[in-house]
Amino acid sequence: MEPAIEAVNLLDLNLAQLEAFVESLGEKRFRARQLMRWIHLYGQDDFAAMSDLARSLREKLAGRAVIAPPRLLDTQASEDGTRKWVLEVGAGNAIETVFIPEGDRGTLCVSSQVGCALACTFCSTGHQGFNRNLTTAEIIGQLWWANRALGRDPKGERIISNVVMMGMGEPLANFECVDAALDIMLDDFGYGLSRRRVTLSTSGIVPALDRLRDRHPVALAVSLHAPNDALRDVIVPINRKYPLAELLAACRRYLEAAPRDFVTFEYVMLDGVNDSTAQAHELLELVAGTPCKFNLIPFNPFPGSQYRRSRPDAIARFRDVLMQAGYVVTVRRTRGDDIDAACGQLAGQVQDRSRRAERLQREGLQ
């Protein structure tokens, strides 16, 4: 008895891989473009419904392939229009994906890992520990699900106009799968997003940042959160491996290929920790020579957190120092906090292989 052939999840494949797959079935390469449109443009997961494919090809696909996004466990809607989907990714794990409507755009916040290994101290995901990287299908499946759920506006345009890799996990720690997912997002036969409309947020894995510049230089946001190495070593521990001087140099290299001529530096505002006007001036010295904008993020509390949100007057003073130096500064409006969908609150369900949550509880830090 011959062993069963394992079905290929087509959400894992970019166009080049899909072309190779259909050729392996004895079909012409152009069929991959048709198939990609059905999967990503129309959100179709039933081969029988793909009407412009030959019946013989549909039958081959039914026997050799699947379109399998993560299973939907729950969906929640905030009073401000934010929506959150909880998706099962096996072995008792779940991830979270968030849609944020704002004016003439809709932004989807996509996760890249089950938990996060970087252990940033202000982040709920970091406190949950780490289980594994997501596959390409699990990353792109979040966009696939959200597009199906949200549909299109009255003009026939997709509701999701922007994607930010700012959900659970550090995208550059899962480079290969994130890179493949970006390929599908940017492909005209996939989601057709421009590089300006896709933003990747990183805590600063310098070698991977250089690789991203060469492969898919989308818009860049960097989780800075401190004006010096001593403080950032505590708040963002990856800084001990890639300190600020190396990170800022990598940002400048990245801008040579980026679709925007600036980096967005994200800076979570922690009361009494990183929010003084003296630290704002120190931050200005740090970024001198790096074209940038600042996004100040009021801290969003979560159970077991050791921090408090900076007071509004402290945030305003910090902002004013930066603005008076000529920088564009935004203060992120908190969205979806009534459904734990705000920045830093995504937790999902993580079977923690790193045992970080257990260790924090033992040390009385959670």
Task: Specify whether 343 is catalytic.
Answer: yes
Task: Specify whether 116 is catalytic.
Answer: no
Residue of 19, 27, 96, 170 marked catalytic: 96
d(CA 309, CA 315) in angstroms, rounded, equals: 10
Strand partners, 298: 269
d(CA 246, CA 205) in angstroms, rounded, equals: 10
Strand partners, 95: 87
Q: Is 139 exposed, middle or buried (0-12, 13-18, 19+ CB in 10 A)?
A: buried
Give how far Cα 97 sits from Cα of 75, 203, 246, Å: 10, 19, 31
Q: What's the CA angle centered on 314, arms 311 and 316, to 5 degrees? A: 110
Map residue 342 onto helix, strand or coil.
Answer: coil
Place of tokens 């290994």: 117
Helix, strand, coil distribution of the chain in percent, nearest 5: 40, 20, 40
Q: Which of 135, 78, 120, 123 is nearest to 341 (CA)?
A: 78
Give how far Cα 253 sits from Cα of 79, 225, 256, 258, 261, Å: 41, 21, 6, 9, 11
Check the CA dihedral 220-226-229-232 and report its sign: negative
Query: Residue 240: how many CA atoms within 13 Å on its side-chain side?
Result: 8
State both tokens at 297: 């993020």
Q: Which of 336, 298, 300, 350 is nearest to 125 (CA)?
A: 350
Angle at which helix 206-215 crosses helix 244-254, to 10 degrees, equals: 0
d(CA 99, CA 162) in angstroms, rounded, equals: 10
What are the residue numbers of the active site?
96, 343
